[in-house]
Amino acid sequence: MTHPATGVSPPRWRAFAQLVRTEASLNLREPTGLVVGLGLPVLLVVVFVFGSIPTFRDPVTALGGLSPLDVYGPVLMVFSLISLAMSVLPLRLATYRELGFLRRLAVTPVGPALLLAAQLTIYAAIGIAAIVLIMIIGALGFGLRLPGSVPGLVVTLLLAAAALFPAALFPLGLCIASVAPTAKAAGAIGGIGLFVLAFCSGLWWPLLTLPDVLRSIMEKTPTGAAVQALLGTLGGHFPSVTPLAVLAAYAVVFTLLAIRTFRWE
């Protein structure tokens, strides 16, 4: 059987560019992503430093000669990533799913996977902006020590993102497959994930102040490993292999789980 020749394949790059543009506009009109992923971590940097703790910039022995600010810099960078991964992305996807927008995309040549790619691109941009702002404000204003190894910083952040975003999609997929697949449920699950991962990153108690056993457990979590790797770059070195290997393992495991569980409808 023959068909009228088309010879035209879907212009995916054009669709992707348009999706990114549209998603960017939507993110500006409903700036949850910007507030949570960029505004909050940057605000925390300012608050921590302006906060009435003048000693925040002084080196502390318990922190291995680093100041609390130096320790919190990486924590806040990771916090930006987990906010985007755990609260912004699942909420947005679940809302789109509830609307039927993902189903609508599924009957176009493009499909919803490209929408996810566009969203990840935008959240990556927000995350990068947040991290750069944290470093600039922290370094210029308050003497935050910057990661000395740029390749180390980039590799760590990439691996952290590769672990955290699938980690958000996996429970979202489970939630959609089992219980009420609503934006509220996604928000609740993401909220729990955010809390646990923020705790493991040392947002409340810096990892360096924890007892050795607890600390080594924390450093096996995605956020704990990411912070450990980022702290490792402060001296100007590439981070040690262990935290990077931990992140890579999480990235592989969560990606596989997300692929297995996540359904578009």
Partner 1 sequence: MHAGTYRVNAPANVVEVWVVPVIDVRGLCKTYGDLVAVDDLDLPVEDGEIFGIVGPNGAGKTSTVECITGLRVPDSGTIRVLGYDPMTDRAEVRQRVGVQLQECALPVKIRVGEVLELFGSFYPRAVDTNELAEALGLASHRRAYYRELSGGLKQRLSIALALVGNPELAVLDELTTGLDPHARQETWALIESVRARGVTVVVVTHSMEEVERLCDRVAVIDHGRMVACGTPSELTSQSGGVTRMSFHPSGPFADALLACLPDVTSLERHGETVVVTGVGDMVTDIVLALHGAGIRPRHVRVESASLEQAFLTLTGDATASPSDGVS
Which neighbouring-strand residues pair with 60? Answer: 66
* Closest C-alpha among 237, 41, 106, 217 to residue 114: 106
Q: Is residue 234 within 8 Å of 148, Cβ to Cβ?
A: yes
Q: Is residue 82 within 8 Å of 201, Cβ to Cβ?
A: yes
* Least Cβ distance, residue 133 to partner 1 (angstroms): 25
180 binds partner 1 (CB under 8 A): no
Q: Residues 10 to 69: which contact partner 1 by CB under 8 A?
A: 10-11, 14-15, 17-19, 22, 25-26, 29-30
Contact region with partner 1 (CB under 8 A), list: 76-84, 99-107, 182-190, 207-215: 99-107
C-alpha–C-alpha distance, residues 106 and 146, integer Å = 44
104 binds partner 1 (CB under 8 A): yes
* Residue closer to partner 1 (CB basis): 105 or 247: 105
* Residue closer to partner 1 (CB basis): 59 or 100: 100
* Residue closer to partner 1 (CB basis): 9 or 52: 9
* Least Cβ distance, residue 13 to partner 1 (angstroms): 10
Four-CA torsion 90, 162, 114, 76, nearest 10 degrees: 50
Please work out the total of residues on this chain that contact partner 1, with binding judged by CB under 8 A. 32
Report residue 254: phi and psi, to 5°: -70, -35
Among 54, 55, 65, 107, binds partner 1 (CB under 8 A): 107
* Closest C-alpha among 265, 225, 234 to residue 101: 265
Q: Residues 246 to 265: which contact partner 1 by CB under 8 A?
A: 265
* Least Cβ distance, residue 97 to partner 1 (angstroms): 11
Q: End-to-end distance of the chain based on CA atoms, in angstroms?
A: 33
Residue with tokens 């702290």: 231
Which residues are at the interface with partner 1 (CB under 8 A)? 1-4, 6, 8-11, 14-15, 17-19, 22, 25-26, 29-30, 95-96, 99-101, 103-104, 106-110, 265
